[in-house]
A and B are shown apart, each in its own frame.
Chain A
Amino acid sequence: MRVVVAMSGGVDSSVAAALLAEAGHEVIGLSMQLYDQRDAPGAFGSCCSLDDLQDARRVAHALGLPHYLVNFEREFRETVTRNFVSEYAAGRTPIPCVHCNADLKFSRLLTRAEGLGAAAVATGHYARVRRDEAAGRFRLLRGRDAAKDQSYFLFTLTQDQLAHAVFPVGELTKPEVRATAARLGLRVADKPDSHEICFVPDGDAAGFVERHLPEPARTGPIVDEAGREVGRHGGVHRLTVGQRRGLGLATGRPMYVLRLEPDQARVVVGPRESLGARDLVATDVNWIAGPPPDGPRRCTARIRHRHVDAPATVVAEPPHTAVVRFDEAQVAITPGQAVVFYDGDEVLGGGWIAGGADTAR
């Protein structure tokens, strides 16, 4: 099978390419150039910097694979970056990686791959896809390494996308991936994991948003739950729900961001116990395992990548909304993040967190 591997230059996608080649597939390495990096300092440890693209090229060469750079700067701007900026400006906290997976890797890159006669796109994600012959569906499962599982970032994938997705390292643990890289003598075997948002290598998301906003962000008041002004903020895009540091408040006890109200340029803060909530409304829900459930569905639900999914009941409201009630209050349910529903290891589906139970819909 001819298969395209999206090679970021990291150890995971490098090993993904190596495993597919070892299995006898005809592997083509493609690395996406996502933004103009000629003037950027080499950002160490972030995804897809020039150094990373060079690593991808050298790994592909070492494995004897053809490798090409594909330019997705325009597409990246139109999908990932634009959404990132508008979400922050709207008082939400976005997850660009989800859009990059759905709108670039398993969309534009998949189209490119098919244009090259490839049957699938493989990535270095820690997730698994199973074909359920009986149901005639593709099922998305967590990666076997629970600590590294990235299924959360893949919840928007459609059946058609899953049919063309391959995750070769999903059956491995991270140590096994590194051991494989070492066994093959790949130069990236000990390369550190990436954590930051790749196109914001300095970690200053707020600064990035400000450079891309059409007009300067509105400053406004920080108020407590009773509506009393307790401070000022430099724009809702600078803050995220659950944030405590950097508010510049001189209140007696620690205060956390509870809510961002971009229409009034207002930020509501409160004590930690006010951060907990049991309910949320999700929009643009994608049901992977089957049609939307009739009636309440028991599951575990995850509200951010680093959240341990918690028992909940989800009620689908067709066509694309869902209401989620957790058994116990969860801390910092954050609009703009995703809620992903699991049944054991299987991803049932997921959606974007719009807000709490009172969210208009």
Chain B
Amino acid sequence: MRIYLDYNATAKPASGVAEAVAHALAEAFGNASSVHAYGQQAKAIVDDARGDVAALIGASPAEIVFTSGGTESDNAAIRGAAEALAPAGRRHLITTAIEHEAVLQTMRAMARAGWRLTVLPVDASGVVDPAALAGAISAETALVSVMHANNEVGTIQPVAELAAIARAHGALVHTDAVQSAGKIPVSVAALGVDLLSVSGHKFGAPKGVGALWIRRGVRLVPFMTGGRQERNRRAGTENVPAIAGLGVAARRARTVVEAGTATMAALRDRLEHGILAAVPDAAVNGRADARVPNTTNISFDGVEAESLLIALDLEGIAVSTGSACSSGTLEASHVLSAMGLPAPRTRNSLRFSLGPGTTADEIDAVLAALPRLVARLRSLGRTAAALR
């Protein structure tokens, strides 16, 4: 049995997605900008998908811009807002220490280009203190970007509260909702933000497609220049097959979210409680409440997470040491470091992330294998230490 518990890296395609992609690729191959019937057929697919994505986040379809994914959405939001507001004297950007690299690195690039940057700290559970934002923001702040749910520990940020502070100072608010959209209810109105990033493949769409929600009336400077697609907001021929898949996935995800997250949370808790009960010296990173229901991040004292990940994979169990983008080199997780975890513990941490297909049998199989693998790694760790 192969068990996939790395849904925060990417999700299995939702049912119907592959068929929608194949249909758009083979049958509706027209350019969505073309006038003729082929173009209209493609355009209809894009329009339908736009409606489905808008419905997932409580937005209006006209506010949705399709992108190549979460990273492009984050870039478009941050660069676009910064450029748009700079002439008005707003050249200050605010973000948090636990953002995804797509936000953090873009912010740092803007800082190198002359914008002032404030990176807000988080507490031990990975949450930003609204008072810290209130202390940092000013009339020069162009944009505040705070992620909705964290990819490594799952913590949900008080985005609405933060957004209220930002808006009171006339700043735009962006949230990276890549890890929350499709997992928990996401409403742009309730969050009170201006810009919201979505990545398709995190909830069952193909890779290479996502969306940026831009509140009606908010003007960004497009960072890609070219044709007039997406109402002049994103140049480039629409990726119709991927957008078709995104639409289907958004529809499925909405059903999943509306059905409630209790089942998913119960499975995650079964895993988490089972691990804490069966494995000595294991601890959860982050917080038990205010967390997406599919994620848990656990430290195993004295165990190199890199080795445990490999040992689990050899048993057919796929997990992750954190962000998939950085685990190729296994640097200390910037998220866990920002939460104040000591460096050794950041190297002892594994992320388990569940998806709609995860079953109780799979969780129990993980619980059956994990204590043995941890014990083996620990026994050798002690032997090796004693030898040296």
Contact = CB atoms under 8 A, between A and B. Distances in A.
Contacts of B384: 107-108, 111
B376 A71 contact: no
B330 A112 contact: no
A68 interface: yes
A116 B306 contact: no
B381 interface: yes
A117 B315 CA distance: 11
A185 interface: no
B381 A71 contact: no
Interface size band for B? 10 to 19
B310 A71 contact: no
Contacts of B313: 66, 68
A175 interface: no
B306 A115 contact: no
B282 to A, nearest CB: 17
Interface string B311-343: 101100000000000001110000000000000
B376 A117 contact: yes
Given A33-B329, A70-B306, 13 more contacts: A28-B314, A68-B313, A70-B310, A107-B384, A108-B384, A111-B383, A112-B304, A112-B307, A115-B376, A115-B381, A116-B314, A117-B311, A117-B376
Interface size band for A? 10 to 19
Contacts of A68: 310, 313
Contacts of A115: 304, 307, 311, 376-377, 380-381
A239 to B, nearest CB: 34
A70 B328 CA distance: 9
Interface string A31-46: 0010010100000000
Contacts of B329: 33, 36, 38, 69, 71, 73
B3 to A, nearest CB: 16
A25 B361 CA distance: 30
Nearest to A28: B314
B323 to A, nearest CB: 15
Contact of B328 (A69, A107, A114): A69
Q: By DSSP majority rule, is chain B's interface helix, strand, loop, or mixed?
A: helix
Contacts of B328: 69
A111 B376 contact: no
Contacts of B376: 115, 117
Nearest to A53: B328
Contacts of A116: 307, 310-311, 314
Interface string A312-335: 000000000000000000000000
Nearest to A38: B329
Contacts of B310: 28, 68, 70, 116
Given A71-B330, A115-B307, A66 B381 contact: no
Contacts of B307: 70, 112, 115-116
Nearest to B321: A71
9 contacts: A66-B313, A69-B328, A71-B306, A71-B330, A114-B380, A115-B304, A115-B311, A115-B381, A117-B314
Interface in A115-162: 115-117
B9 to A, nearest CB: 16
B320 to A, nearest CB: 13
A52 B377 CA distance: 28
Interface in B337-388: 376-377, 380-381, 383-384
Interface in A57-84: 66, 68-71, 73
Nearest to B377: A115
Contacts of A38: 329
List the 10 closest pairs (A to B, CB-CB), nearest first: A115-B377, A71-B330, A111-B384, A115-B380, A114-B380, A115-B307, A68-B310, A116-B311, A111-B380, A112-B307
B306 A66 contact: no
Interface in A211-237: none
Contacts of A73: 329
Contacts of B377: 115
Contacts of A114: 380
A117 B311 CA distance: 8
A33 B329 CA distance: 8
A275 to B, nearest CB: 39
A156 to B, nearest CB: 14
A112 B330 CA distance: 15
B330 to A, nearest CB: 4
A73 B381 CA distance: 18
* Residue of A70, A73, A112 with most partner-chain B CB within 10 A: A112
A343 B115 CA distance: 70
Nearest to B374: A115
B235 to A, nearest CB: 30
Contacts of A69: 328-329
A350 B319 CA distance: 45
A33 B384 CA distance: 21
Contacts of B381: 111, 115
Contacts of A112: 304, 307
